[in-house]
Amino acid sequence: MYRTAERRSGNHEATDQALPPHGPSGKVWPDGKHHILRRHNQPNIIRFSELWWQELQRHSKRDQLSFAYVARNEQLEYALLPGTIRNNDHFEIHAHKHKKTPAQKLLKSLKKTFSKQQNLT
């Protein structure tokens, strides 16, 4: 993973600072996993959450990368849940309702209009 630092500091020599492959205590940085933080009222977790939110708002829209970046800077200890949300007994995946595109809505409206006209004749 890479962190582009020039947006933050204006220092073009600091571009593409590589994150180490492992975080605190040798844990692998999260890669596409979902995170659950506990003890939300602890000062270090509150600080981490605020800094992570600032990172997302100001610089990065990639939550996995920004999580790793802020966690490394704050030396945050965290644990990963085993497996993934797709193969874990603690999670269920439900399908989203399908949202129709404008073209699909138009087609449905046209079909409805033409079927009414055919019924009138």
Top pLDDT among 6 and 70 is at 70
Among the ranges given (8-17, 67-76, 79-88), the one the predictor scored with the smallest mean pLDDT: 8-17
pTM over 0.75: no
Chain mean position to CA 73: 19
The C-alpha atoms of residue 54 and residue 11 are separated, in whole angstroms, by 20
Mean pLDDT calculated for residue range 29-44: 66
Is the pLDDT at 71 greater than 70, yes or no? yes
Is the pLDDT at 37 greater than 80, yes or no? no
Inter-residue contact 43 to 66 (CB < 8 Å): no
**Torsion-angle region of residue 43: left (phi > 0), alpha (psi -120 to 50) or beta?**
alpha
The C-alpha atoms of residue 121 and residue 115 are separated, in whole angstroms, by 10
Top pLDDT among 103 and 87 is at 103
